[in-house]
């Protein structure tokens, strides 16, 4: 395997991994809201990269399954990070599910 094809097989995986480490460190040392928001955004960037064809090591399943799972997980992370310490937004979302 040549150096060029080995580099291509990894694709954006090191970038996503480094961003995830930074997001977790921000959650631990600075602010859980911003860390969760950054981590959720990073997961959605991974979904966009997978959708555009830069899969590399991110390509485990079919493209449709990967993109759907990554977008859903990223959206939930961003939503949960926005809900931390925000009682007004919690009340608004809970009112949507109330009868």
- The model's pLDDT over 6-38, given as tens digits with 9 standing for 90+, comes to 555 666 777 888 888 988 898 889 888 888 888
**Residue 52: helix, strand or coil by DSSP?**
coil
Question: Rounded to an integer, what distance in angstroms lies between the CA atom of residue 16 and that of residue 64?
Answer: 19
**How many Cα atoms sit within 13 Å of 86 on the Cβ side?**
13
Quick count: other Cβ atoms within 10 Å of Cβ 45?
16
What tens digit of pLDDT does each residue of 56-98 get? 665 667 778 888 888 999 999 888 888 887 788 778 878 888 7
Measured between alpha carbons, how far is residue 67 from residues 1, 34, 54, 77, 79 in Å? 28, 23, 12, 15, 18
Phi/psi class of residue 62: alpha, beta or left (left: φ > 0; alpha: ψ in -120 to 50)? beta
């Amino acid at each position: 395997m040549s150096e060029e094809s080995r580099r291509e097989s990894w694709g954006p995986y090191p970038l996503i991994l480094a961003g995830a480490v930074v997001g977790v460190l921000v959650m631990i040392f600075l602010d859980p809201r911003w860390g969760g928001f950054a981590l959720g955004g990073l997961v959605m960037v991974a979904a966009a990269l997978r959708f555009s064809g830069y899969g590399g090591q991110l390509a485990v399943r079919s493209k449709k399954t990967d993109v759907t799972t990554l977008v859903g997980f990223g959206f939930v992370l961003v939503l949960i990070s926005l809900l931390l310490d925000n009682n007004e937004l919690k009340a608004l979302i809970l009112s949507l599910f109330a009868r």
